[in-house]
Chains A and B, each alone.
Chain A
Amino acid sequence: MQFAKGKPSAGAFFDSDFASIDSVLATAMLFGLQGKNDCRVAILTVSRPNLAVVGFADAVERFYKGPAGNFSQVPPIGMRTDGAAGDTSAAFTIPFQKKNTDGNAVYTNQVKSVIDTGDPNTLIRNYLEAQYDQNAFFVMGGPASNLAAALEFSGMTDLISQKIKYLVMSAGSFDGESVDSRIKADIPAARKVFAEWPTPIVVCGSEIGPNLPFPGASIDKEFAEAVHDNPIADAYRAYQTMPYDAPSRDVAAALYAGRPQEGYFKLSGNGTVTVDQSGRTSFVPSANGKHQYLISDPAQKEKILKTYVEITSAKPVPPRRFKPADAADEKPKETPPPK
């Protein structure tokens, strides 16, 4: 096996309710960025107790990471166990009905019960510990429930400060009117995260998605040309009657998180986001504020949509294995027992 030496690309943590195809495409974006060595996807966590959704996320993870191999494992999907299960889109179930020419299922759902999932806090803790300091980022696309729970977990705030460089939250609205359903779904959690999350936060508001419709035509073109059986493409087809271009706020958040320096978006100045009792988000500028929000840049739209297709449709590339520059060989010394 080829080893890369030194510091790997940033670890990516993605928490979502997987309530729309946007979250699925965002997962493809993160794994696609992994293929470009812009990040390494650490774990996926789901913020609602819905086994069907988790089963699909698990199938996507295995599609990109491949089976567990030597010295590597495919972590379970983290799943919150309280709260409402919510709706289950056909996007998460129809792909499992797909058969290959032998009549066998193309994708297998390996999540049969809660024991096939992981506790989000334990997973986040365990996989943060495997990251170099300030070499990881978090993307949240859904209610803030899991992140708020993480802040309650023993030692987690310090660990997040140590390992995470920034959080990109695909939640909230900055059009001055809308109340984002993601915030409304768990207002105390959103408030807690905005108030206590120890790293800088970049917010991707609900106004971003409609401005960047995902090019649905790519599903039957670029996606199909790259990989015949792709759960992302099959989910897209099942989510809504084709053709359609899905709003892509989570994809935008994932793209920004993986390539913050590329200038795809404009950024607000520093400030503080607060959440009122109805779930409306407000931004108050302040020089010391840790929060910013993304602003669409019409000049970048074409480039962004092209990048969307290029990255999300790419063939899976497993993460490279890294070892410290001074690491010794893997093999234990074969010394005879003492006489």
Chain B
Amino acid sequence: MITQKTLPRRTFLRGVGSAAIALPFLDAMAPALRASTIPGGAPVRMAFFYVPNGMIMDAWNPTYEGKFQELPRSLKPLEPFKDDILQISNLTHNTGRALLDGAGDHGRCCGSYLTGVQVKKSLTEIKGSVSFDQLVANEVGKQTRFPSLELGMEDARQAGDCDSGYSCAYTNNLAWRGESQPLPPMLDPRALFERLFGTGQPMTPEQRKRQAIYRRSILDFVTDSTHKLESSLGPTDRRKLDEYLSAIRQVEIQLERAEKDTRPIEPGMDKPYGIPADFSEHFKLMSDMIAIAFQADQTRIVTFLMTREGSSRPYRELDIPDGHHPLTHHRNLPDLMEKVRKINEYHVRQFASFIEKMKATKEADGTLLDNSMIVYGAGLSDGNAHLHEDLPTLIAGRGGNYIKTGRRMVVRRETPMCNLFLTMMDRMGVHTEKFGDSTGRLQGLDLG
């Protein structure tokens, strides 16, 4: 129930049953925020969007350094947002390399990506380290409903051999809570929706069915408290609230459509219930909910494994029936390389749609994107050669008016990726002198 004139940041629209909708940042919350511990108004959010199997680097790296001019092909979908992104070249994950462990670059590169350590080559004795997003979540996560969200779109198996003796626990997770505790990503959009807007407990199939029969939106359950809140808000906040609730309704509609769609995802292979067969629809659902979760400050930390490392998913929507991973071992054959470029560009196009939404969402004096650091990256650069240097890395957003975007920044070769993580941790308010194989903080994010 809304009883205060100044809204607390942690206000929910509550309704009958388990419905609970966190609110976005509203002007009416500003006085409360000014008195809170959050510096500068809106908090800084951080997300990682990971793509597997490396890239065709000639279509990823511009031929120049500094202010963006013509974007390379894989980045073209980000053209409308090129003033909002910073591309960083030459970051390296030495711990993804073989060192003395032989084959298994896919398992290693994903396992080391956020942990900064070389993971143990094993199918049964899983060993990595606490990932840096979780170090941040341990501190910052106390201020939000969910310390972090771990999301994915393809495969959350935690056992089996996914790469030359590396467990699937390494290829299928980004976030690690402990050295032997990877955090499996949530793949099901409905489960995510219920987590964000329910009690946190997924509905049983019967409950879902009952809700579907009555075709009721979660917004219907909070109608009374919505009306009460609206009556106490100014016109700007009313518009913000309306846009926010409309976004939630759009997600619901997409979910319902996905649940009605029973097309097989592959010939002879049934589609998991509720998961859209179409990659871009699935991505849109998940990423829309990330934006809502950020907007409502439900969490400030998200890791998103767009597809698992080593993925052999075909891209029939691009007329590419070949598996992604086999294609990346293209042996420099032009037609195979071209298919990989198309897949790389397709992934970035999905990401661009998310960035568009983040940029369109107003918050405080700027946008949700301004207050975020959304990293898009891969654990391999050249997937054909399995290289672990010059890892494709870009950051969308300014991390709270800090990062100077609109340019390509090239750092010294072999600069540890963990140096970037140290700097990002600073921006999230968590300070430490070393993480993984860092050699210091990455300088220059704030220099135009």
Given A69-B385, A130-B97, A324-B101, does the pair A332, B412 have CB atoms closer than 8 Å? no
B414 touches A119 (CB 8 A): yes
B103, B325, B326, B382: which contacts A329 (Cβ < 8 A)? B103
A118, A335, A336: which contacts B412 (Cβ < 8 A)? A118
B99 touches A115 (CB 8 A): no
Determine the interface band of chain A, counting residues with CB < 8 A from chain B.
35 or more
Is B144 interfacial (CB-CB < 8 Å)?
no
B412 touches A330 (CB 8 A): no
A69, A73, A330, A337: which contacts B103 (Cβ < 8 A)? A330
B412 touches A115 (CB 8 A): yes
A70 touches B384 (CB 8 A): yes
Q: Which of B72-125 contact A (CB under 8 A)?
A: 90, 92, 94, 97-107
A323 touches B103 (CB 8 A): yes
A338 touches B155 (CB 8 A): yes
Is B177 interfacial (CB-CB < 8 Å)?
no
B411 touches A115 (CB 8 A): yes
User: What is the CA–CA distance of A130 and B323 in the complex, to the nearest angstrom?
Assistant: 32
User: What is the CA–CA distance of A336 and B165 in the complex, to the nearest angstrom?
Assistant: 17
Is A121 interfacial (CB-CB < 8 Å)?
yes
Can you list, as one digit per residue, whether each of B157-191 has a CB less than 8 Å from chain A (1) or not (0)? Answer: 10011111100000100000000000000000000
A116, A122, A338, A339: which contacts B416 (Cβ < 8 A)? A122
B164 touches A328 (CB 8 A): yes
A70 touches B410 (CB 8 A): no
B414 touches A76 (CB 8 A): yes
A71 touches B101 (CB 8 A): no
Is B434 interfacial (CB-CB < 8 Å)?
yes
Given A70-B386, A122-B415, A334-B312, does the pair A328, B269 have CB atoms closer than 8 Å? no
Is A283 interfacial (CB-CB < 8 Å)?
no
B414 touches A118 (CB 8 A): yes
Is A72 interfacial (CB-CB < 8 Å)?
yes
B106, B107, B272, B412: which contacts A119 (Cβ < 8 A)? B412
Is A117 interfacial (CB-CB < 8 Å)?
yes
User: What is the CA–CA distance of A119 and B105 in the complex, to the nearest angstrom?
Assistant: 24
B160 touches A331 (CB 8 A): no
Can you list, as one digit per residue, whether each of A99-129 has a CB less than 8 Å from chain B (1) or not (0)? Answer: 0000000000000001111110111011001
B163 touches A333 (CB 8 A): yes
Is A132 interfacial (CB-CB < 8 Å)?
yes
- Distance between A8 CB and nearest chain B CB, rounded to angstroms: 10
- Distance between A44 CB and nearest chain B CB, rounded to angstroms: 13
Given A154-B434, A332-B171, A334-B323, does the pair A327, B385 have CB atoms closer than 8 Å? no
List chain A residues, Cβ under 8 A from B387.
68, 73
User: What is the CA–CA distance of A327 and B121 in the complex, to the nearest angstrom?
Assistant: 10
Is B406 interfacial (CB-CB < 8 Å)?
no
Given A71-B386, A332-B106, A332-B163, does the pair A117, B100 have CB atoms closer than 8 Å? no
Is B413 interfacial (CB-CB < 8 Å)?
yes
User: What is the CA–CA distance of A276 and B312 in the complex, to the nearest angstrom?
Assistant: 64
Is B154 interfacial (CB-CB < 8 Å)?
yes
- Distance between A246 CB and nearest chain B CB, rounded to angstroms: 31
Is B389 interfacial (CB-CB < 8 Å)?
yes
Is A75 interfacial (CB-CB < 8 Å)?
yes
List chain B residues, Cβ under 8 A from A125.
94, 437, 439
User: What is the CA–CA distance of A339 and B271 in the complex, to the nearest angstrom?
Assistant: 7
B163 touches A338 (CB 8 A): no
List chain B residues, Cβ under 8 A from A70.
384-386
User: What is the CA–CA distance of A126 and B388 in the complex, to the nearest angstrom?
Assistant: 12
A126 touches B386 (CB 8 A): no
Is B270 interfacial (CB-CB < 8 Å)?
yes
- Name the CB-closest residue of B to A133: B100
User: What is the CA–CA distance of A123 and B415 in the complex, to the nearest angstrom?
Assistant: 9
A122 touches B439 (CB 8 A): yes
List chain A residues, Cβ under 8 A from B272.
339
B414 touches A121 (CB 8 A): no
Q: Which of A137-178 contact B (CB under 8 A)?
A: 153-154
Q: Which of B311-364 contact A (CB under 8 A)?
A: 312-313, 323, 325-326
User: What is the CA–CA distance of A131 and B98 in the complex, to the nearest angstrom?
Assistant: 11
- Name the CB-closest residue of A to B309: A332
Can you list, as one digit per residue, whether each of B365-402 has a CB less than 8 Å from chain A (1) or not (0)? Answer: 00000000000000000101111110000000000000
B310 touches A332 (CB 8 A): yes
B385 touches A130 (CB 8 A): no
A117 touches B412 (CB 8 A): yes
A337 touches B100 (CB 8 A): no
B94, B106, B270: which contacts A126 (Cβ < 8 A)? B94
- Distance between A265 CB and nearest chain B CB, rounded to angstroms: 32
List chain B residues, Cβ under 8 A from A336.
266, 269
- Name the CB-closest residue of B to A130: B99
A126 touches B414 (CB 8 A): yes
- Name the CB-closest residue of B to A153: B439
Scoring A75, A123, A328 by chain B CB atoms within 10 A of each residue's CB, the highest score goes to A328
Q: Which of A51-109 contact B (CB under 8 A)?
A: 68-73, 75-76
Can you list, as one digit per residue, whether each of B221-255 has a CB less than 8 Å from chain A (1) or not (0)? Answer: 00000000000000000000000000000000000
User: What is the CA–CA distance of A144 and B301 in the complex, to the nearest angstrom?
Assistant: 45
A115 touches B103 (CB 8 A): no
User: What is the CA–CA distance of A153 and B437 in the complex, to the nearest angstrom?
Assistant: 12
User: What is the CA–CA distance of A68 and B266 in the complex, to the nearest angstrom?
Assistant: 37
List chain B residues, Cβ under 8 A from A116.
413
User: What is the CA–CA distance of A125 and B104 in the complex, to the nearest angstrom?
Assistant: 22
- Name the CB-closest residue of B to A325: B102
Given A115-B411, A332-B162, does the pair A337, B155 have CB atoms closer than 8 Å? yes
User: What is the CA–CA distance of A70 and B328 in the complex, to the nearest angstrom?
Assistant: 12
List chain A residues, Cβ under 8 A from B434.
154
B413 touches A68 (CB 8 A): no
B325 touches A334 (CB 8 A): yes
B100 touches A327 (CB 8 A): no
User: What is the CA–CA distance of A122 and B418 in the complex, to the nearest angstrom?
Assistant: 12
- Name the CB-closest residue of B to A118: B414
User: What is the CA–CA distance of A12 and B104 in the complex, to the nearest angstrom?
Assistant: 25
Given A68-B385, A331-B164, does the pair A119, B312 have CB atoms closer than 8 Å? no
Given A117-B412, A118-B412, does the pair A335, B102 have CB atoms closer than 8 Å? no
List chain B residues, Cβ under 8 A from A337.
154-155, 313
Q: What are 26 A-B pairs at a CB distance below 8 A?
A: A73-B385, A76-B413, A116-B413, A118-B413, A122-B414, A126-B92, A126-B94, A126-B97, A126-B437, A129-B94, A130-B100, A131-B100, A153-B439, A327-B102, A327-B165, A328-B103, A328-B104, A328-B164, A332-B106, A332-B107, A332-B164, A332-B310, A332-B325, A333-B160, A333-B163, A339-B270
| Contact surface of A with B, Cβ cutoff 8 Å | 68-73, 75-76, 114-119, 121-123, 125-126, 129-132, 153-154, 323-324, 327-339
Sample of 7 further A-B pairs with CB below 8 A, known A129-B94, A334-B323: A114-B412, A115-B410, A125-B439, A327-B164, A332-B164, A335-B162, A337-B155
6 smallest beta-carbon distances between A and B, as pairs: A327-B102, A332-B310, A76-B413, A332-B163, A126-B94, A118-B414
